[in-house]
Chain A
Amino acid sequence: MNLTDLRLRVRALFTPAKVERELDDELAFDIECETRKLMAGGLPAAEARRRALARFGPVPLAEDRCREERGISFFETLARDVGYALRTSPSPSSTRSCSRSTRYGIRTSALPIARANHLGDPLRVVLRAHGGGDCETNDAHQQGFAGEELRLPYEETLTKPAMNQSQTATATEITAEARASELSSRTAFGKRNRITQMVTASVAIGRAPSMRRRVRHRNTPIRFRGARTRSASPTPSAAVQCGSG
């Protein structure tokens, strides 16, 4: 490790937001340059941008590889974990995180399984807040966490039936459901700490409850930036653990 390396690592460690913004700007600039070049060659703006993105490849992957070069992944994770542990204020941010995690969870785990196995019925999803407490759960609903319509690339656009406040999903046509668990714990400082970072997404497929086929799927931990994962609930059909970033 030379001095430059050390300086850059320290900078990334203590000004992570700035470093991340710079990374975003740098990659976005590349795509813009390529887009403009293609437009100068006569392509319409939308097509030029599409091709520029295709040429670039997966941006998140490039970002991750750039982050790896910083060599502070361990410290970044540690800093974020400490941040979680110290976070004591309830609701909005945690429920938003819960909502986001749930969306990720459904898209990445439950939906592919449902897609591969459903019987041709309209596919519906219920986001079901679970655990925590009534207040927290209601907060989750108020944040739009439970009533969201999820759009998919093709015919399986999911519609969300109205949820009642008891969070009981009874509609027989529900074929996929996701469950976001809000965990509560106490920090090392004795303060109540809400950790909203576990999502289990379960899929049940069929025309009626008795006909539903539970699709077993091994737990798939998915890490998002700045996330930590926890163990899934005991019996999810298809479970995904998502950290809230």
Chain B
Amino acid sequence: VSNNDTMPRHPIPDLLPGTLDLLILRTLQTDAMHGWAISERIQQISHDVLQVNQGSLYPALHRLEHQGWIEAEWRVSELGRRAKYYRLTVSGRRQLAVEAREWERMSAAIDRIMKFA
């Protein structure tokens, strides 16, 4: 049985604060993507466990853009329509490194509690 069938799906806002930002930054680490592709990628990589709510995704993208961690560019998409592609900036890469470290620390702490508490 796949994760699809056994794991409940969680809208990302239910996760820890800042998680969505981290996931977006990480997803954009390799390629520039538009919003829909980002949400699809997160869903796909998480085996459908995580579904990004679009009502949270786009405000988060705009917030990250204002923070200078991602930048946007309008390009013609695979559908032949103009789409807004986001890509990580240099400061975004630095921020991703910081947040990834924090996440690992938090994750390890929770893991210890689950095992030993």
Interface status of B3 (Cβ within 8 A of chain A) = no
Given A69-B62, A70-B66, A71-B66: A29 in contact with B36 (beta carbons within 8 A)? yes
The smallest C-beta distance from A39 to any residue of chain B, in angstroms, reads 12
Given A5-B66, A33-B36: A25 in contact with B55 (beta carbons within 8 A)? no
Question: Which B residues touch A29, using CB under 8 A?
Answer: 34-36, 77, 79, 81-84
Q: In the bound complex, do residue A3 and residue B68 qualify as a contact, i.e. CB atoms below 8 Å apart?
A: yes
Q: In the bound complex, do residue B54 and residue A57 qualify as a contact, i.e. CB atoms below 8 Å apart?
A: yes
Given A2-B68, A29-B36, 14 more A-B residue pairs with CB atoms under 8 Å apart are: A2-B67, A4-B68, A5-B66, A5-B67, A26-B34, A26-B83, A26-B84, A29-B34, A29-B81, A29-B82, A29-B83, A30-B54, A36-B79, A56-B54
Q: In the bound complex, do residue A65 and residue B66 qualify as a contact, i.e. CB atoms below 8 Å apart?
A: no
Q: In the bound complex, do residue A58 and residue B36 qualify as a contact, i.e. CB atoms below 8 Å apart?
A: no
Q: Which of B72-105 contact A (CB under 8 A)?
A: 74, 77, 79, 81-84
Interface status of A62 (Cβ within 8 A of chain B) = yes
Interface status of A218 (Cβ within 8 A of chain B) = no
Interface status of B59 (Cβ within 8 A of chain A) = yes
10 pairs from A and B in contact (CB 8 Å cutoff): A4-B65, A5-B67, A5-B68, A26-B34, A26-B35, A29-B34, A29-B83, A30-B36, A34-B36, A62-B54
The smallest C-beta distance from A48 to any residue of chain B, in angstroms, reads 14
> CB < 8 Å: which of A3, A5, A36, A65 contacts B59?
A65
The smallest C-beta distance from A174 to any residue of chain B, in angstroms, reads 40
Question: Which B residues touch A68, using CB under 8 A?
Answer: 59
Given A29-B77, A29-B81, A30-B35: A62 in contact with B58 (beta carbons within 8 A)? yes
**A29 to chain B: closest residue by CB:** B83
The smallest C-beta distance from A24 to any residue of chain B, in angstroms, reads 11
Interface status of B63 (Cβ within 8 A of chain A) = yes
Bound: A71/B63 CA distance, A: 10
Question: Which B residues touch A32, using CB under 8 A?
Answer: 79, 81
Q: A64-81 CB contact bits vs B (8 Å, 1 = yes)?
A: 011011110000000000
Question: Which A residues touch B84, using CB under 8 A?
Answer: 22, 25-26, 29
Question: Which A residues touch B56, using CB under 8 A?
Answer: 65
Interface status of B53 (Cβ within 8 A of chain A) = yes
Bound: A22/B82 CA distance, A: 10
Interface status of A8 (Cβ within 8 A of chain B) = yes
Question: Which A residues touch B62, using CB under 8 A?
Answer: 66, 69-70
Question: Which A residues touch B54, using CB under 8 A?
Answer: 27, 30, 55-57, 62
Q: Ordered nearest first, which 8 A-B pairs have the shortest CB separation? A: A4-B68, A65-B59, A33-B36, A69-B62, A62-B55, A57-B55, A30-B36, A56-B54
Question: Which A residues touch B81, using CB under 8 A?
Answer: 29, 32
> CB < 8 Å: which of B34, B36, B37, B66 contacts A4?
B66
